[in-house]
Amino acid sequence: MVFKEIIARKRDGHELRDEEIAFFIRGVTDGTIPDYQIAALLMAIYLRGMTDRETVALTREMMHSGEVLDLSDIPGPKVDKHSTGGVGDKISLPLAPLVASLGVVVPMISGRALGHTGGTLDKLESIPGYRTDLSVSEFKEALRTVGVAIIGQTGELAPADRRLYALRDATATVSSVPLITSSILSKKLAEGIDGLVLDVKTGSGAFMRRYEDARALARSMVAITRGVGKKVVALITNMDQPLGWAVGNALEVVEAVEILQNRGPEDTTELTKTLAVEMLLLAGRARTPEDARQQVDQALASGRAYAKWQEMVRHQGGDPEAVLQPEFIRTRFQEPVAAPESGYLAAYDTYALGMAATVLGAGRLTKEDRIDPAVGLRVFKKVGDRVEQGEPLLEIRANDPERLRLAREHLAGAFRIAPDPVDRPKLVLERLA
């Protein structure tokens, strides 16, 4: 094939054939197609889009560009969850061991902080000794022994995605729905799972701020996952305010432990339970949502879910007891951000809160930046709460005075107070299956 002709066909709005997409991904993987031609096709896809058939083919080829795990020798159903990312979104941490404690194998390959959103791997690596760099054989051994493991992407899984993502980032084509869909699903489906639950965020702290964009992405991922023969359900959830009280790495680990100890914040606990119910249903471990919810509640109340968390952390080299010590989240500075007037908290600029945590060192502005695990924000008030003038809305936790100043700038005007009561936002906005 002549790759220039493939670029021209997509440029002119034609549907690419399966063999053309296969040729493209082979060239990406083995380096025979130069970056400038890959970038040209990415831009053509961004402008012209892809049909579901094309996106299924693209996802399948990317998934098979490297190793696809065979977990058939590990007993039990295998189900994972993916979130498109948000501020304070630590749900994977309690969710994975909770579901594993109920007999579902959870192979979870996660990412690092991206833009204003936190990364599951960065949170887990705040735990002394915790390893996210397990090899494929170590990953499978953890799944066989513990029933759950949360690790970073290995070099063997979906290698085409790494090259494509770097070029998408450099060519302003990241936000293409078919390219997002294939990027996410090629990695998730290479885990060897039977089913996938998707948490697609929308709102001021999400990558897809507009509801219609989030819905388009959710619809695409459901269609493509089903198109490659896997069970799937997607929830569109609200990211117009931070999830829980903690934004930051060690702070969010502490909150995850509180959820597993059945004493976490209402919103993060409820979302964890809701996603756990969906995973149990996909796995066939529950006949009805009510049955699944009863199992989830019992696993949390009995301590079974927390025990599975401790087992997972220890198996991956971490010290679960360190999370319970005060020094785990100790910082040099703790500065409150007070309400300028009395009334009702009407809105957060959740993106601004995420950026404040990032400049504190909870995330990365460049890929070379080092994470400071203890820093972040503690949120005291939720949308709909009554606040009094001078009352703290949140607290900045910092280790560097200059970073504290930058965070203060991001938080100036990052909330709105109304004189009259406002409705509390709904957490789960829609379910697609």
Using the 8-state DSSP alphabet, how is residue 57 labeled? H
273 and 407 share a domain? no
CATH number at residue 353: 3.90.1170.30
Q: Is residue 103 part of a domain?
A: yes
270 and 305 share a domain? yes
233 and 339 share a domain? no
136 and 282 share a domain? yes
316 and 207 share a domain? yes
3-state secondary structure of 33: coil
292 and 358 share a domain? no
Q: Give start and end residues of each alpha helix (H) in 284-362.
A: 289-302, 304-315, 350-357
86 and 108 share a domain? yes
Model pLDDT, residue 391: 97
How high is the mean pLDDT in each 10-residue block of the chain (433 residues)?
96 97 97 96 97 96 93 95 94 98 95 80 96 93 97 85 88 90 92 95 93 95 94 97 97 98 96 98 97 98 98 98 96 97 97 96 82 97 97 98 97 96 96 95
- Total residue length of the chain: 433
Q: Is residue 361 part of a domain?
A: yes
Model pLDDT, residue 367: 67
Q: Is residue 163 part of a domain?
A: no
CB 178, CB 112: distance < 8 Å:
no
The count of structural domains within the chain is: 3
334 and 197 share a domain? no
Catalytic residues: 82, 161, 168, 183, 187
CB 71, CB 190: distance < 8 Å:
no
CATH number at residue 31: 1.20.970.10
319 and 332 share a domain? no
226 and 136 share a domain? yes
Residues 6+ apart with CB under 8 A from 26: 32, 61, 65
Place of tokens 């295998």: 78
User: Strands 386-387, 79-83: parallel, antiparallel or unpaired by DSSP?
Assistant: unpaired
Full residue range of the structural domain in which residue 217 is found: 79-156+184-323
Q: Is residue 22 part of a domain?
A: yes
Residue 202 forms beta bridges with which residues? 238
Q: Pick from 323, 358, 384: which residue ends a domain? A: 323
336 and 309 share a domain? no
259 and 373 share a domain? no
CATH number at residue 101: 3.40.1030.10
